[in-house]
Chain A
Amino acid sequence: MEQTEDIRLMKGNEAMAEASIQAGADAYFGYPITPQSEVLEYLAREMPGRGGVVLQAESEVASINMVYGAAGAGARVWTSSSSPGFSLMQEGISYIAAAQLPCLLVNVNRGGPGLGTIQPSQGDYFQAVKGGGHGDYHLIVLAPNSVQEMADFVFLGFELADKYRNPVLMLSDGAIGQMMEKVVFHKKELKRIPKPWATTGKTPDRERSIITSLFIQPEKMEAVNLLLNKKYEEICKNEVRYEEIMTEDAEVLLVAYGLSARISHKTVQLAREKGIKAGLLRPITLYPFPYERLNKLADQVKCMMTLELNAGQMIEDVKLAVNGKVPVGHYGRQGGIIPSPEEVEENFEKFFKSVS
């Protein structure tokens, strides 16, 4: 039987890099930073000869601006970094969003703030979802929880970026980026769409293309803002993604993404063994956030708790979603410390007993 699938044991970062080549990325511009330097290294080895440009820039500032240029020229382009480096990209990201350029961005979240630690964290949730750069814009944010998803979301990311002419962020972390798991590459070809707005050279048959984010007259700026607002409305309507585990009869709910969702899955199993009807909702898109589904679940469960490797960020979106219907709590560790499912289960029980 012909083998149509390509199955490998790979590190998250490298699976993501391999997926980008298979998805037809034209260019990658990046700068080394732990825990994601493997991306640039893998591409430096693999990309030449398989088509596409890979370039180590002098900084993350330069990287994101190279992405801007290449995306404006119509290319399928991406970059990756980790928290302190991702902060450097915020200016460029705001410009990319305003100029409506499609591209894929990746943040392999490490502990912070500041130079922090190289261990995993989810402390960049606010930066990813609420803005990070200035102005009214949003990134579509995808949160993988496995090496397989780090590969799959490259395809999804490029697809959504092209569909909406918007930057897409894959928010991973230092554990998923570094862990090794089985990954299946589906040999999919990601189709190209026409980009008549790109700066490919003004031929006589068209007006010149201008890529800009400058709209000095208030009326023009407002028109652009309203256009972006409308786009985000469409995204919120069409692109919400989440996974539910044992929620059908759940009485208490965990909400977690990425690595925390892996831990929460085991936590829910442990709780069930004790006779607790626990369930898990795992947002896959952090923007657009599954507000509607959580609001509905608030009619069913007695309380919700987020597990996040931060001081409590996604909890705010869960609270917005349930709008006061049920108590919402948070448990998390910071500094790169990863709690065990037992520790989480113990604190989950403590929480819902306290609000009963």
Chain B
Amino acid sequence: MENNEIQTPDCLVENGETYDMVYERPHTLTGTRMHYCPGCGHSTAHKILAEVIEELGIQGDVVGIAPVGCSVFAYDYLNFDMQEAAHGRATAVATGVKRVLPDKYVFTYQGDGDLAAIGTAETIHCVNRGENIMIIFINNGVYGMTSGQMAPTSLAGMKTTTSPYGRDTKTMGHPIKVSELIAPLPGAFYVTRQAVHNAPAVRKTKKAITNGFKYQKLNKGISFIEIISNCPSNWKMTPLQTVEFLDNEMAKYYPLGDIKVPSAEDLK
């Protein structure tokens, strides 16, 4: 369905009938149909991001950096300036942007391979420098775009195409808790782990992302927002089953909630 001109903010007139507008897609989404699998957390995360940017009125002041992964086409769905980074390099690209445009809101949006495998050095050093940006880390414990290989964050015992007998921590290491790893760095100002698989989670993630933008004006360092996400295709489950798996397994290993919160002093 085409996005027609909005007639008024409060109602829609169609075929002679008037309807109250109780919700509309944020104008910071382009309206292009998303390619994500049914039940994938990306579409919800994109929408939350777009809503926050619209509500804060910063569409003209934001630059986002897209990763390599399922969300490599994020710039097709998001209606603001974006750059596509090489795999793992988004935090370095974001550093380049923020250093020359310090007054803009800059964020990266990355998956678990991008941020915690190939991009580990860039991630840690960006946080360590305390760049005044937001890092959004979509963690679904598997490589989606390349069809289901093991990720650094895949749970122990998880069967993937490159751990067909289950992740063996003896030879493949343990899943990495990135948020806990980077939180102790002084450059990390705000670190939280959220999800988008039910309404309360969505509200909390929206609050976290709103903070991630607002805190940039304090120039006190990184806002790091890890989002545990569903991947029905590569977890080999129905969307409803992924919700259960997230609550029962993923959230057990990766506890949801704030890991590092700025004090009242810090927020002045």
Residues of chain A having any CB pair with chain B under 8 Å: 26-27, 29, 53, 55, 57-59, 61-63, 65-75, 77, 91-92, 95, 99, 199-204, 208-214
Shortest distance in angstroms between A28's beta carbon and chain B's nearest beta carbon? 10
A92-B86, A199-B82, A210-B81 known; A65-B100 Cβ under 8 A: no
Q: Which residues of B have CB within 8 Å of A91?
A: 86
Instruction: Report Cα–Cα, A53/B95, bound state, in Å.
Output: 11
Q: From known contacts A199-B83, A212-B84, infer whether A204 and B60 are also in contact, taking CB-CB under 8 Å.
A: yes
Give A279 to B93 CA distance when docked, in angstroms.
47
Q: Does B121 contact A (CB under 8 A)?
A: yes
**Chain B residue nearest in CB terms to A74:** B100
Q: Measured between alpha carbons, how far is A275 from B212 in the docked complex, in Å? A: 76
* A65 and B92 contact, Cβ closer than 8 Å, known pairs A27-B99, A70-B97, A210-B75: yes
A69 to B97 CA separation, bound complex (whole angstroms): 5
Please measure, in the bound complex, the distance between the C-alpha atom of A214 and the C-alpha atom of B83, giving whole angstroms: 11
Q: Is B85 an interface residue (CB 8 A)?
A: yes
- 4 residue pairs, one from A and one from B, having the closest CB atoms: A69-B96, A65-B92, A212-B84, A66-B96
Q: A61-B89, A202-B81 are in contact. Are A26 and B100 (CB under 8 A)?
A: yes
Measured CA separation A73–B92 after assembly (Å): 13
Interface window among B61-69, B178-186, B215-223, B246-254? B61-69
CB of B243 within 8 Å of the partner chain: no
B234 at the interface (CB under 8 A from A): no
Smallest distance from the beta carbon of B110 to chain A beta carbons, Å?
13
Give bound CA distance, A193 to B139, whole Å: 41
Bound complex: CA A58 to CA B121 (Å)? 8
Question: Are the C-beta atoms of B86 and A65 separated by less than 8 Å?
Answer: yes
Out of A59, A66, A203, A208, name the residue touching B93 (CB < 8 Å).
Answer: A66
Question: Is A59 touching B121 in the complex (CB atoms < 8 A)?
Answer: yes
| Interface: B122 (CB within 8 A) | yes
Given A27-B96, A66-B99, A77-B100, 14 more A-B residue pairs with CB atoms under 8 Å apart are A26-B100, A27-B100, A55-B99, A57-B92, A58-B125, A61-B121, A62-B95, A62-B121, A69-B65, A70-B97, A72-B83, A199-B63, A201-B80, A201-B101
In Å, the complex CA distance between A169 and B128 comes to 31
Asked whether, in the complex, the Cβ of B85 is within 8 Å of the Cβ of A68, the reply is yes
Contact B96 A77 (CB under 8 A): yes
Q: Are B60 and A69 in contact (CB under 8 A)?
A: no
Chain B residues positioned under 8 Å from A204 (CB to CB)? 60
In the assembled complex, which residues on chain A have CB atoms less than 8 Å from the CB atom of B75? 208, 210, 212
The reply to whether B81 and A67 form a contact with Cβ atoms under 8 Å apart is: no
User: Does B233 count as interface, using CB distance less than 8 angstroms?
Assistant: no
Give the interface of B toward A (CB within 8 A): 59-63, 65-66, 72-73, 75, 79-86, 89, 92-97, 99-101, 104, 121-122, 125
Q: How far is the CB of A30 from chain B (nearest CB, A)?
A: 12
User: Hey, which chain A residues are within 8 Å of B122, CB to CB?
Assistant: 58, 61-62, 65
Residues on the A chain within 8 Å of B82, using CB:
199, 208-211
Name which residue of chain A comes closest to B90, CB basis. Answer: A65
Q: Which of A59, A70, A92 contacts B99 (CB 8 A)?
A: A70
Q: A57-B92, A211-B83, A211-B84 are in contact. Are A62 and B125 (CB under 8 A)?
A: yes
Query: What is the distance, in angstroms, from B7's C-beta to the closest C-beta of chain A?
Result: 19
Question: In the complex, how many angstroms separate the beta carbon of B111 from the nearest chain A beta carbon?
Answer: 15
Chain A residues near B95 (CB, 8 Å)?
A: 55, 57, 62, 66, 69
Interface centre among A66, A75, A204, by most B CB within 10 Å? A66
Residues of A within 8 A of B73 (CB): 214
- B100 contacts A209, C-beta separation under 8 Å: no
Q: Is the CB of B89 within 8 A of A199?
A: no
Whole-angstrom distance between the Cβ of B101 and the nearest chain A Cβ: 5
- Pick the contact of A212 from B79, B83, B121 — CB < 8 Å? B83
User: Is A73 a contact partner of B100 (Cβ separation < 8 A)?
Assistant: yes
List of B residues within 8 angstroms of A66 by Cβ? 92-93, 95-96, 99
Residues in chain A near residue B93, CB distance under 8 A: 65-66, 68-69, 72
Could you say which of B62, B72, B104 contacts A214, with CB atoms under 8 Å apart?
A: B72
Q: List A contacts of B62 (CB < 8 A).
A: 201-202
Cβ–Cβ contact A69 & B83, under 8 A: yes
Least distance between B108 CB and chain A CB atoms (Å) = 10
**Interface core residue of A27, A55, A59, A69 (most chain B CB under 10 Å):** A69
**CB of B115 to closest CB in A, whole Å:** 14
